[in-house]
Amino acid sequence: MAGNKFNPSNDIPDLAGRVILVTGGNTGLGKETIAVLAKHNPSKIFLTARNAQKATTAIEEIKKTTPDASLSFLECDLTSLASVRRAARAFVEQSQRLDILMCNAGIMAVPPELSKDGYEIQFAANHLGHALLMKLLLPTLLKTAAEPDGDVRVISLSSTGAWFPPKAGIQFDALRTPQELGIGGRSLRYGQSKLANILYAGELAGRYPQLTSLSIHPEIIQTQLVDTQPRMTQMLIKVSAAVQQHGMLPPEEGALNQLWAATARKEDLKNGAFYTPVGQLAKPFKYSQDVELREKLWAWTQKELENYSL
């Protein structure tokens, strides 16, 4: 793995007093992130998942190595805006601060489908659900940032899959359809949602500079996102991993970039940037620096979410 040397055991500071929320914390990168952060004395870590039993199992497994960890489960289905709102309400009932919001959960290259609210399913899960969580928790994030020890991070997991979105980057007029794009459509829709993560993180940083908002690529990881792909897609992913990074990485290595982004010194970070592992500023690519597209995405997202409040 290229980039900065980063050893979580030595390089993550004491997180005393910090409150952390990780979406998709029951498996893969999310679970690994929580397991590592829990060893550094945070006040509380909340994890979201759709399945309570899987979340409970993850918490039990993490506590085997860190028995004193304070971990709480929030039920949340990111493809349902109502579910996201319930999770946000549950969070603010339990905590008055939020230091790290890790938007980790996601789906990849699934067949054409609509979310419960009628959006293209990958865009709903990977972008819109997280955008609502950010919106509803923004007052808490800003309040925390204003405190004397405030150093708030909002980390959005993107992907170099963002290099390959459909034409125009984001097809706004098709986001309320299954967006069937023919051959390669699954990957194009995925790329569209991951591009949205990069653009939205950048716009959040511009509008709220008191927060540190970053997007990151975690390398190609052996997780359930890959395991659930069709066999041919799995083969292509593994070939790509072999070319780019000498093979698939386990979650322990794949989580390093998001752990770095969440805990590195603030002065070492460029707010709004997209980072590849570990801690490397990604080279600009088509659409990633498109300010007009970024602003359009923000406006579209706020319009879609205008009826959702705590």
Q: Which amino acids are annotated catalytic?
A: 158, 190, 194
Q: How far is CA 91 from CA 87, 94, 98, 111, in A?
A: 6, 5, 9, 32
Q: Are 226 and 27 in contact (CB under 8 A)?
A: no
Helix (H) or strand (E) holding 276: strand 274-276
SS3 155: strand
DSSP 8-state secondary structure symbol assigned to residue 102:
E
* Residues near 260 by beta carbon (within 8 Å), at least 6 away in sequence: 4, 6, 11, 275, 278, 279
Helices (H), the chain: 8-11, 28-37, 52-65, 81-94, 121-123, 129-145, 185-207, 224-227, 231-245, 251-254, 256-263, 291-304
DSSP 8-state secondary structure symbol assigned to residue 282:
P
Q: CA 239, CA 128: separation in Å to the nearest integer?
A: 31
CA atoms within 13 A on the CB side of 129: 34
SS3 101: strand
Q: CA 14, CA 279: separation in Å to the nearest integer?
A: 20
